[in-house]
Structures are given as C-alpha cells and as structure tokens.
Amino acid sequence: MTSAPARPDPLIAVAELSRTLTDVTLLDVRWRFRGPVGLAEYGAGHVPGAAYVDLDTELCAPADARGRRPVPSPEAFTAAMREHGVRPDRPVVVYDADDSSAAARGWWLLRYFGHQDVRVLDGGYAAWLAAGLPVESGPPERRRGTFVAVPGSMPTLDAEGAARTARTGVLLDVRPAERYRGEGDHAKEVPGHIPGAVSAPALDNVTADGRFRAASDLRGRFGGLGTAPVGAYCGSGILAAHAVLALRVAGIDAALYTGSWSQWTMDPARPVALGPGTG
C-alpha cells in the first residue's frame, strides 16, 4: 500500500475551529443509521453558524440500480450546497454528533465534486460541547453559495473495479466484522462479502470518544494490508467514506465503491463469500 504525497490534514480540531469560526462555512450532518434525522438535535443546539444538511435527501440520491444511497447528481448537489452557503473560495468544515460516520459522507462528496478545502471536525459536536464552547439554535444568516459541483476529483469504483481491486490490490470491507462474515440478522441484507475483500471495520479507526486515531496508529493498522491499489466499501457507501477519510489521515489514497454491498448484491451472478478471512 503506497502513501500519498503530503497534503493538508483533512481533520480540524475543536480548538482550531473555535479560532477560525467566522472564516469557514459550517455544515451540521448529524444522522444515525436507522435512526431519526438530526434536524431536531440541530434545532436544540449547534455550532454557531452551522447549517443543517440532511444526509438522506441532500447527500444521497433515491435508491436505484446504483445502490441504496447513490451519489446525488451534480445538479442536485450544487443546489443543496448553494442553499447552505458553500462557496469554492471559502473553506468548509463538516461535523456530525461524534464519530464522523456521517460527516465523512459530506467531506467525501464535497471533495469528489471539486471543493478543494474541506475538513471534518474531529470528535464532532460532542467534542465541541466537551470543550465548553458556545452553541446556538435556529438557522444561520448566510448568503447563498456559488459552488458548482463537478464530479471526478476523488477516485471511485464500480462493481467491476471493486472485484479487480480485491484481486490485484486491497479491497477493504469496512462494515462491522459480523456483517463481513455473514453472521446475524441484518434486515434483508444478503450475508457475506465480496470475495477477496479484507475486513477492516471503519469505526475501529476512531477512539471511544469519536476522535480519529493518530495518523501513526492508522498507518500501523493499514500498513500491513498489502499493496496499492486500495478501495473501500460498506453497506451503502456511508461508512466507506469514513474509511477513505481515515486512510487519507494516514497518508493513503483509496477509491470508494460508491454502490457498495447494496449494489453488488443486486446482481445474483456476482459471487459472495462467507466466513472469516480474506474471502
């Protein structure tokens, strides 16, 4: 697995954000798998100046042949980001409740669609509160943005590319390990994993308080997995973005299989592996 050239840290700490709060566009992407949307939590309090972004409707297209949570069209993403004040010449900081599993989707999409300066608040809103920093309620006052989404600035995989990466490089299955093994009841999900994929649960990349592990720790975790190319997938493309972010922190570039397991299993001719190991 090869390391990428030095680049700005994709994370921002609470202390740094508090010093630069008026110089960035803030997006609140609080969201939970199979949970209520985060709008109520946002209304109760958020980082000052943050706009609420609904992951299901603004960071995903409706389910279709591309998977359960497809990448939105450039037109739809442009409209959503402009509504929230995103401009190409102004840094963006994205956060969620704590572990960045939702914020990473916003980070990845903005990077994929061409924004050059996007960071994720390490530890999310929980870290902001723990630092005793001020919060506000109500929507922010913000000018309409000018961002134009142009796809292609982050590497992606389709099903064929994912299968090839599993054969020739390292394809990370970043779902919980029991889902990789095909164990348990996961609500209509086909059990198992893409043959050749390596189990590497995404949330093992963060500590108990939701902050990302140190870059050196992440390099140690990923360094023994093999050689480039590197790809990641999950159930529908959300946690895979989190893994791509963690890999970026470690200095490693990775492609995201945007359709992930939900798209892979739409075709019964695609092989499925069960049990532990690498498939």
For residue 3, pLDDT beyond 60: no
Exposure letters 150-177 (e unless 16+ CB within 10 A, then b): eeeebebbebebbbbbbeebbbbbbbbe
Instruction: Give residue limits of the domains in the chain.
Output: 11-130, 156-264
% pLDDT > 90, the chain: 85
Q: Which CATH class is domain 156-264?
A: alpha beta
Q: Are 201 and 175 a contacting pair, CB within 8 Å?
A: yes
Task: Please give the pLDDT value at position 154.
Answer: 98
Task: Please give the pLDDT value at position 13.
Answer: 98
Q: Which of 26-35, 158-167, 207-216 has the lowest mean pLDDT?
A: 26-35
CA dist., res. 90 & res. 202, Å (int) = 29
Q: What is the pLDDT of residues 243-277, one digit of tens each?
A: 999 999 999 999 999 999 999 999 999 999 998 86
Task: Please give the pLDDT value at position 188.
Answer: 72
Known active-site residue 234: yes
% pLDDT > 70, the chain: 93
Residue with tokens 């209304």: 43
Cis geometry, peptide bond prior to residue 229 (ω within 30 degrees of 0): yes
Task: Please give the pLDDT value at position 206.
Answer: 97
Region 176-198 average pLDDT? 88
For residue 229, pLDDT beyond 70: yes
Task: Please give the pLDDT value at position 227.
Answer: 62
For residue 9, pLDDT beyond 50: yes
Q: Which CATH architecture has domain 11-130?
A: 3-Layer(aba) Sandwich (3.40)
- Domains 11-130 and 156-264 belong to one CATH topology: yes
Task: Please give the pLDDT value at position 187.
Answer: 61
Catalytic-labelled residue, pool 11, 93, 200, 234: 234
Rounded to 5°, angle at Cα 61 from 151 and 201: 85
